[in-house]
Structure 1
Amino acid sequence: AGAFVVQVASSCPLATNGSVLAFEFTLVFNKNPLVCYDPDSQRFTPCDWGLLHGVATSVATMLNKDMAWLERAQSRHRACQQLATSFWATTGLRRTPPQVRIIPSKTGPTASPVLLTCYVWGFYPSEVTVIWLHNGVVVEPEDHSYMSTIPNGDWTYQIQVTMLVTPRAGDTFTCSVQHASLEQPLLVNWSPGLSSGLVLKVAMATVVMVLGLGFFILGAYHYCIRPPAAGYTPLPGDTYPAGN
């Protein structure tokens, strides 16, 4: 023998502006709607028109005679109307600012172009504008590719925009994000690192500078501690011993 499950399900579908579109209060038998509540007539009606239609009609008649069930459905309907505004204000009308990060990926040898990916995530609502800038100049949209905005599953969204570049020393690439939660665009910069040759030159210059500074300090120290020359006549207030 199989198992039988009866459930009570209620829902309030909302429009994009937060208004209540409908109210549903249903008795479900083995995942199939059996009896539905009509908020206009405030009565239960059968909503199974198959083999269980007769059973659904009998159950609906029984529920319409039970004031506890009628009051239960009406209470759910009132709660739907009352809670929809506050629920929508904390969900559909909220503003969550995005987080932004630029990740570079090499496409080959050192001299090859670099694929820059601007990751934007954790924002709500879903409308967002992402722009690339090169040294402060807006990059045309045809020079980079978009990924469609996708939901994260927690009422936030994410998007990524990629651009293939051949950076030079001194270049700055900026990912600019505009969103309803931001008073001004959110800017994140990326610049290429020093080349290996330039890194070696900087390291050598640093070593030479440190050695030079060390020799200077050592020479100054020996100069200060040396005894005065023979025949030296100290000036008034001088602490050096008198010469011979």
Structure 2
Amino acid sequence: MASSSVSFLLLFITVHTADGFMHYYTARCVFNSTELKDMEYIYSFYYNKLELIRFSSSLGKFVGYTEFGVKNAEMWNKDPARLSRERAQKETYCHPNTEIWYQNVLSKSVLPYVILHSTAPPPKHHPAMLVCSVYDFYPKQIKVSWFRDGKEVTSGVSSTGVMEDGDWYYQIHSRLEYTPRSGEKISCVVEHASLKEPLWIDWNPSMSKSDKEKIAIGASALILGLVFGLAGFIYYRSKTPDLFLLDSEKTKIAIKGSGLTLDQVLSLVKFIYSKKKAQGRFLGPS
């Protein structure tokens, strides 16, 4: 009787294959802990994505979900040999294969790389927004949360969800909109299988050392440009003494800020001017 039922399904496939109908089955091992104590073996039969029959090691028998499935489940449950074979799959199929997966795949993990930075919030929202970006972690499961002065924050929090990088690694970006308070401490907390304990990243609103160095370099370049610009202007004006006197008090005050003497500035400008003019690359008063 059992074989006739299977033949009926195969015949159904043969007749309707051209129309895209499909019959298939899946064997699954479901568990939620490394001890594998909650392991469950599930064997399901499908027709066109509709589950017809399922065997579960938790129940120890077949269950039908359609009229056809119920009839076959009742028939298979009366077959001691078939039930015995399916009941043994948890130990003979699930446990050995899961242990192999744990050794080669499930136990592998990669530490996440975390960057906490500020960004402009959307219009008509809170005045400030922080983004906690977590990169290059494996496996996929991860938790990112926000804490403010030691208390978890849930309002104003949004996330992109875990995104695939395409190279077995993942990334996620969590955002916190908030109103800054003086002296507060805001932290992004990351929990992942690769971490022995949660990773706390505290927000520091002050500029980083690299940012300060960039600003210092930019300011130095600006000052140097102003010095040379001022020197050129003074030299040009020196050719029209009626309009500007080089030894005036205003000129001395302007030159003093550059750290050079007036004679040094004029000598440098004259040298550059003469070189450019000799090359025909600079036109000016003779």
TM-score by length of 1: 0.51
Counterparts of 1:22-171 in structure 2, within 5 Å, are 22-39=40-57, 45-48=61-64, 50-52=66-68, 53-58=70-75, 64=81, 75-83=92-100, 85-86=102-103, 87-90=105-108, 95-105=111-121, 115-122=127-134, 125-131=142-148, 146-147=156-157, 151-152=161-162, 154=164, 157-164=172-179
Q: Post-superposition shift, 1:80?
A: 4.6
Q: Does 1:179 pair with 2:190?
A: yes
* C-alpha contact (below 8 Å) 2:27/2:42 kept by paired residues: yes
Q: Which runs of 5+ in 1 are unaligned?
A: 132-137, 192-201, 224-244
Number of residues paired by the alignment?
A: 195
SS at the partner of 1:23? strand
Q: Is the 8 A contact 1:7 1:27 kept in 2?
A: yes
Determine the structure 2 residue equivalent to 1:8: 25
Contact 1:35 1:59 in 2 (8 A): no
Q: Distance in 2 between matches of 1:139 and 1:68?
A: 54
Higher fraction of helix: 2
Q: Is the 8 A contact 1:126 1:156 kept in 2?
A: no
Greater relative CO (CA pairs within 8 A, separation 6+): 1
Cα-to-partner distance string for 1:37-83 (whole Å, 9 max, x where unaligned): 45479x8x432154212234456778956x99999886532345424
SS of residue matched to 1:10:
strand
Q: Could you tell me which amino acid in structure 2 is paired with residue 160 of structure 1?
A: R
Question: Contact 1:28–1:34 at 8 Å: present in 2 too?
Answer: yes
What is the DSSP-based 3-state SS (H/G/I as helix, E as strand, rest coil) of the residue aligned with 1:151? Answer: coil
Verify the 8 A CA contact 2:156 2:178 in the aligned structure 1.
no
Cα root mean square deviation, aligned = 5.4
Contact 1:176 1:188 in 2 (8 A): no
Pairwise CA distance, 1:222: 7.1
Structure 2 gaps, min length 5? 1-15, 136-140, 165-169, 208-219, 232-257, 272-286
**TM-score using structure 2 length:** 0.45
Q: Aligned equivalents of 1:206 and 1:106: distance in 2?
A: 39
Change in CA separation of 1:18 and 1:207 when aligned onto 2, cut-off 3 Å:
same
Partners of 1:174 and 1:189 within 8 A in 2: no
The letter of the residue matching 1:152 is V
- Inter-CA distance 35–103: structure 2 relative to 1 (3 Å threshold): same
**Distance between the aligned counterparts of 1:141 and 1:69, measured in 2?**
47
* Deviation of the 1:33 alpha carbon: 3.3
How many Å separate the matches in 2 of 1:63 and 1:4? Answer: 32
